[in-house]
Structure 1
């Protein structure tokens, strides 16, 4: 089974072989995004499984796949995802636990014990997010280039920083984190397609539309919870 996972491929219309584990890894990522939109705690561990699979995809030369260039930024962000996902997993579990504690009147909060309550970031937090995106991209570009990352290297650095900030924003429950994913997808699609990662590039196209839906879903949930508090 493990051998199949690392070697199985398929083609579409005479294209270059596509790894099944790339598709499966993105499938776990999509399931995690769906769980995140629904504010389910299981979104985090499901996402971690996808991160592990995609790590092996983007460092293909380490796992016997020399047909495509290694994407160091993409591989590195999978490691980052795992670390930040552990933080988000713990944070959402604690929120859910507090939400489901039975109050003195014996009632359970109307949220149903979801993992997070969406909220807008403050203007100061938004400024820090934009600054971190710009400074992080500039700082990581020469590092990724020195390590031999795929050109244009700034795009790889942009995707890495955007993914880091979006995952952190999801853990904090900021509605804006969905828009950061849109910015990642806009750069990620042409980069991954040019590098031959067709399955992931196509998945990014779908993610772009999905993240916009997620943004409005969280916005609506935030408005509903604020109205209930009022």
Structure 2
């Protein structure tokens, strides 16, 4: 049975989620207090409605209790975000994801009991910062407060050497979980095969270990 989603707040972040879910064929209810934004997404989402997410009666009337997963993507109004999260929790929504503006906002949301808190601006900032450091760092995803997964391109320091020779786990405390070779993803790479310039390593580890790995093996010296 197809999941039903609702996105509250149709700014840049919420609008992007609404569009992506819709393009994936999901049923999406788009909600905002701004009529112009709602009209913008009425032909993208399954349904688009003008509603105040801090009004419990209004949310009930649009059938929010029938939604499997609600994403609260309200912009700068932290109070509205928190109040909407409280109402959704009280209504027993199966899964609630909320965009946090800062760490204090996140602490409150966690106390309320939402399922997932996201920091799109902070997380994107980290990803961009890592990419700025080196073109060999393709992607960076935070898994927890102190663990991440990074996607790196094999550069000068690794090309022609095997995983056994590099011994990334022993030297840096990180684990290579897969290697992308063109369109193929090898989750059981041979430790003896030499790495090629076009290969991409998917590495997981503690942030401090990943940082050492990047500085020593990923960032090519000019």
TM-score calculated relative to the size of structure 2: 0.25
Q: Which has the higher helix share?
A: 1
TM-score calculated relative to the size of structure 1: 0.24
Which entry has the higher C-alpha Rg, 1 or 2? 2
Q: Which has the higher strand share?
A: 2
